[in-house]
Amino acid sequence: MLNEEKIILMTQMASYEENEGKKNMAIGRYFRSDYIAIQVLKSILCATIAYAVCFALYVFYDFETFMQDIYKMDLISFAKNVLLYYGITVVVYGAASYLICSLRYARAKKSLKCYYNNLKKLNSIYNE
């Protein structure tokens, strides 16, 4: 005899596993601190690449003048400025990533909690 409640529950869970559940389960495998740390590290890497690309574009923008001035300019203060801007970029972007990843982790955990409750419910139906 078909159990309608069981079928509905299983269909809902299968649909969840196929769609948003995939991503949430990947997030749920980590501890909160581990997940956020990995994501922030990735963000720092991305910010570094983006900053390097912007810096390269800045150099090429006025390459001739830059090459002429490179012997005259105070290279240490120039490097300090470059590093300062890099630090600001990385800190701001890292903080934004931290916030986004914290929210994502909380949302994924909440969603997975609902999924696990459904699993328990399904288990209890089988044990009936």
Partner 1 sequence: MTALLELRENLKKIYSRNEAFILPVIKFLLSFIVLSIINGKMGYMTKIDNMAIVLIVSLLCSFLPTGFMVVFAMLFTMLHMYALSIETAAVGLVVFLLLYLLFLRFTAKEALVVVLTPILCMLKLPYVMPVAMGLIGTPASCVSVGCGVVVYYLIQTVISNAPTINSMGAEEATAKLRLLIDGMLGNKAMLVMIVAFTVTVIVVYLIRRMSVDHSWTIAMAAGIMIEVLILLVGDLMYDTNLSILSALLGAIVTVIVCKVIEFFRFCLDYSRTEKVQFEDDEYYYYVKAVPKMTVSAPTNTVKKINTQRRPAPQSARPAEQGRSSGQSRSGGQNVRSAEGSARSVVTERTAPARSRAPYGQQNPYRGREMTGGRSVTISSDHMAQDDSDDYEELF
- Our CB check for partner 1 shows the closer of 49 and 125 to be 49
Block residue for tokens 């909380």: 106
Binding residues for partner 1, rule CB under 8 A, total 14
- Our CB check for partner 1 shows the closer of 100 and 122 to be 100
- Applying CB under 8 A, which of residues 31, 60, 71, 126 lies at the interface with partner 1? 60
- Our CB check for partner 1 shows the closer of 3 and 12 to be 12
- Our CB check for partner 1 shows the closer of 13 and 100 to be 100
- Applying CB under 8 A, which of residues 7, 14, 53, 79 lies at the interface with partner 1? 53
Give the side-chain half-sphere CA count within 13 A for 110.
Answer: 6
Question: Which residues are CB-neighbours of 90 under 8 A, at least 6 positions away?
Answer: 44, 47, 48, 51
Euclidean distance between CA atoms 37 and 35, whole angstroms:
5
- Applying CB under 8 A, which of residues 100, 109, 115, 122 lies at the interface with partner 1? 100
The candidate with the shortest Cα–Cα distance to 122, out of 38, 17, 48, is 17
- Applying CB under 8 A, which of residues 47, 90, 105, 111 lies at the interface with partner 1? 47
- Eight-class DSSP state of 1: -
Q: Is 7 in the site for partner 1 (CB under 8 A)?
A: no
State the CB neighbour count (10 A cutoff) for residue 35. Answer: 20
Q: How far apart are the first and last CA of the chain?
A: 14
Q: Is 71 in the site for partner 1 (CB under 8 A)?
A: no
Q: Is 18 in the site for partner 1 (CB under 8 A)?
A: no
